[in-house]
Amino acid sequence: MKDTKPFQIIFIAVCMLLTVVGVLAFSFGGTKKNPDENVGPVVVIWGTKEEEMFNDLIRDVNNAGVPINATYVQKDKENFNQILLEALATGKGPDVILTSVEDILTYQDKITMLPFSTLNERTFKDNFIEEGEIFRTDIGFLAVPFSVDPLVLYWNRDIFTVHNKTAPPSNWNAVVSLVPEMRDISEDLAVHEAVISLGDYRNITNAKAILSTLMLQSGTPITSLQYEATRQRLFLSSELEAQNRERLIVPAVAALNFYTQFADPLSKVYSWNRALPASLEMFASDDLAMYIGFGSEAGLIRSKNPNLNFDMALLPQSDSSPVPVTYGKMEGFAILTTSKNKTGSFAAINALTGSVFLKAYALVSGLPPVRRDLLAVPPSDAAGSILYRSALYSRGYFDPNPSKTDTIFQTMVESILSGRSSSNESLRTTNNQFRLLIDEFNKKQEEE
């Protein structure tokens, strides 16, 4: 007989406590059937998360009395799109996919929109964090939120102690004040000990997410999605050059200037250059005071250096932003149009995004839940409390082509640092390149 795993014991106990509350509290509304009933054959879900862990959770929650009539299949992350397209072409695809906000537009024409009559908008807002509303369109939802991985600030406690600093900065002004006091640079501008992973692009892990956060904090949504009823199509647009009406500036330019100053040798906050190792490796090597990374990276950092004395904090915020914002990698469940069991698929998604399953998933993954009721009771551990708050602050945007926009962002930063163009010119070029990618997406919608 297979030994019971430690986490299974925990989950079963949690599930038994939460089953009654979770099942009764979570209902999308508008459905005539009980969404927790097993409807039709087993629902097949494809994603890139670890398969054994996911199916173990499904089994444990089922054993605890919350029926989930589904099985999860892990597919290669790098080739997921191609694998899915080939399977759909042969009629062997799944019922549901677990996909990210960044990738969901790739599958938009293959997804069944969940109308408000099925997925009640009021209940959705009450149940899920605000970033989840990115899946909303004027006629329904593209997906249902499942997980979020927010950007946080990792800080080296020993380096802070050496410099007589008691706590990490809570805002970007404090970061600017810390850099001149903590940096270690020589007369030839060589950086021996960096303060924070900001400034360049190629050797800064998560550079695109960091830049996106600064833009979102400045009030730039980056992209927006609209539904045109006359043509019954979704259309994407770029918001990079949107202006602040009160200050008559382009906030994204201010975000760019702030970011690149850390790699400008003439700046008082210069503390980064392209000759340095990748920021993740530098932090793990005890040579970087602050590293901006995703919450899921904590275990990776520990594995690289078990003796590293580090902690996690909320990502610094802009003083001009009234609401805290950080970038969050969000994933959600979407039903494919080819599914022959859409009712059962919705019932499975309903259960997988309920309190019981998401509580269990949070315990295994170490990531914060996307449900507001679960976030209302943060864990007692230090990292958990930071992640739960960061989940509430998480925001994102629709990316027309993640790999291409990564290159566009890199070129934007490097053109400024090299002096080839100003921040305004570089952003204008980036905006034009975004629009070309967006035009490709919109044209595809019109042709279908």
The full DSSP string for 208-247 is HHHHHHHHHHHT--SEEEEEETTTTEEEEEE-TT--BTTT
pLDDT at 76: 96
Q: 281, 260, 280, 283: which is closest to 272 by C-alpha?
A: 260
- pLDDT recorded at residue 26: 37
Instruction: Name the strand (E) or helix (H) holding 115.
Output: strand 114-115
Residue 253 CB partners (closer than 8 Å, separation 6+):
423, 424, 427
- 215-247: b (≥16 Cβ within 10 Å) or e: bbbbbbbbbebeeeeeeebbebbbbbbbeeeee
The residue that leads in pLDDT, 35 or 172, is: 172
DSSP characters over 135-151: GB-SSEES-EEEEEEEE
pTM above 0.95, yes or no: no
Domains, the chain, ordered by start: 6-148+328-395 (3.40.190.10), 150-320 (3.40.190.10)
Integer angstrom CA distances of residue 155 from 252, 270, 313: 26, 19, 7
State which amino acid sits at residue 421.
Answer: S
At residue 27, does pLDDT exceed 90? no
pLDDT band at 425 (very low <50, low <70, confident <90, very high): very high
Query: What pLDDT sits at residue 17?
Result: 46
Mean pLDDT of the chain: 90
Share of the chain above pLDDT 70, in %: 89
Q: Are strands 70-74 and 310-313 parallel, antiparallel or unpaired?
A: unpaired
CA distances from 9 to 16, 82, 102, 206, 211 (A): 11, 38, 35, 36, 41
Structure tokens at 22: 């979770």
Place of tokens 């002004």: 173
Contact 274, 144 (CB under 8 A): no
Specify the pLDDT at position 445.
Answer: 74
Q: Which one-letter amino acid corresponds to residue 263?
A: A
Q: pLDDT by residue (tens digit) across 44-72?
A: 999 999 999 999 999 999 999 999 999 99
Cβ-based neighbours of 163, under 8 Å, separated by 6 or more: 181, 182
129 CB-near residues (< 8 Å, 6+ apart):
145, 148, 370, 371, 372, 375, 391, 392, 394
What pLDDT sits at residue 19? 42
Residue-level pLDDT at 244: 59
pLDDT at residue 199, as a whole number: 97
DSSP H stretches of helix in 277-422: 279-284, 298-304, 342-352, 355-365, 372-375, 382-393, 402-417
